[in-house]
Structure 1
Amino acid sequence: MKKGLINQRQRGITLIMSLLILVMITILALSVMHTSVFEERMAGNTRDRALAFEAAEYALREAQEFLSSAVLPSFTATGGESGAYFKGLDTSPSGQTEEDYWQDTHDWNTKSVAATEANAVLSGQAQPRYVIEEYQTVSCAGGSVKWPPPAPKTIYKITARGQGRTTEAVVILQAFYDRGCS
């Protein structure tokens, strides 16, 4: 009779050990699954951010190409004809930083130019946009007795905004453009 009692106890312990091992394997599998889902999201966010950066860079390059034109439109406090060519733009109307202004305050829909060259490259993304600010002219050194000094040069600041496939992925790039002395 003792022998049968021991066999029953061993079967009970085997069942309990099997259940414990099964629970541990389930917890491990859930942890691995959670980690892989988290890594997948991180990779997607990184890709979306890279797409936003590329879009902003397209807009920046298009604005630089625009500034290399022989004739430029007038730059005004209200943005000129297109609403995107400013002179004396106040980027801290309520005391915020310039970064906050471009992220939160500036109206990118009406006070910017859409970069049209990026149409064929970007798919599923909002059109990248840019704004150009004209800074004060700077006199150019030089000249001689025979030739007059060159005309002053104008410096421009370009602010470009690109968005990835989601609205959370936004990149804003800025660059200065010097038209040089003529």
Structure 2
Amino acid sequence: MKRVFKHRQNGFVLVVSMIFLIIMTMLAVTAIKKATLDEKVTGNLRAQDLAFQAAEKALRFCESNLVLAVGSLQMCQLRTGATVQVIPSKKESDITDVTKNFPDEWSKAANWTDGGEFPAIKLAGVNQISNVVEQPRCMIERWEIPNDRGKDFYPYVITARGVGSVDTAKVWLQEVIRCGNN
């Protein structure tokens, strides 16, 4: 007597295959999203780094317009032929709190365009930076702090702004240069 076994397919392999396919699809989508996010983060870091480099170049540019050589008779004065003008302080000197008269022209948005009362200098020519949305700018302000050395020894506040490859990547750098011991 010969037995015949009937094999019925219950669809078990199909269900397992579909679950496996869904899991693989989810892993692939997650990997693509992570790669896209990593690329965005890298792009943002690059834009921010470019903005920092632009601001640093502008800061050094404004700095180069001052005589900073130790022992020079013109130390802390504008170099001959300087392309940046020092913005005079409009605030009175206060011996009790020197921070009250900290220069603030840098904080006025109009000064970072060509329409302000004291527009910041935009780097041009050989000083330009490529791949930025806007060329870096800088300004030099005199800080009226009481001293016994005279008006040529007031500190300067140099402010620079750099914009990266996107207009949301902005870096501001500020430096105080004070000559003498007072």
So what's the TM-score if we normalise by structure 1?
Answer: 0.70
Whose helix proportion is higher, 1 or 2? 1
The 5 Å alignment of 1:1-182 reads 3-4=5-6, 6-9=7-10, 12-68=11-67, 70=74, 72=78, 85-88=87-90, 102=107, 105-110=109-114, 111-116=119-124, 118-119=127-128, 122-125=129-132, 126-140=134-148, 151=150, 153-180=153-180
Number of residue equivalences:
150
Q: CA deviation at 1:175?
A: 0.4
Question: CA 1:105 to 1:162, structure 2 compared with 1: closer, same or farther past 3 Å?
Answer: same
- Contact 1:84–1:113, Cα closer than 8 Å, also in 2: no
Whose strand proportion is higher, 1 or 2? 1
Q: CA deviation at 1:169?
A: 0.4
CA RMSD of aligned residues (A): 3.1
Aligned partners of 2:150, 2:88: CA distance in 1, in Å? 22
- What letter corresponds to residue 51 of structure 1 in structure 2? L
- Contact 1:127–1:162, Cα closer than 8 Å, also in 2: yes
Aligned partners of 1:131, 1:30: CA distance in 2, in Å? 49
The answer for unaligned runs of 5 or more in structure 1 is 74-80, 90-97, 141-149
Aligned partners of 1:158, 1:2: CA distance in 2, in Å? 96
Q: CA deviation at 1:124?
A: 1.7
Q: Secondary structure at 2:141's aligned position in 1? A: strand
Aligned partners of 1:133, 1:36: CA distance in 2, in Å? 46
Aligned partners of 2:158, 2:9: CA distance in 1, in Å? 82
Q: Secondary structure at 1:88's aligned position in 2? A: coil
- What letter corresponds to residue 127 of structure 1 in structure 2? Q
- Contact 1:162–1:172, Cα closer than 8 Å, also in 2: yes
So what's the TM-score if we normalise by structure 2?
Answer: 0.70
Aligned partners of 2:110, 2:61: CA distance in 1, in Å? 20
Q: Deviations over 1:94-141 (max 9, x none)?
A: xxxx99x73x7343122110134532xx2121211012111115425x
**Sequence identity, in percent?**
28
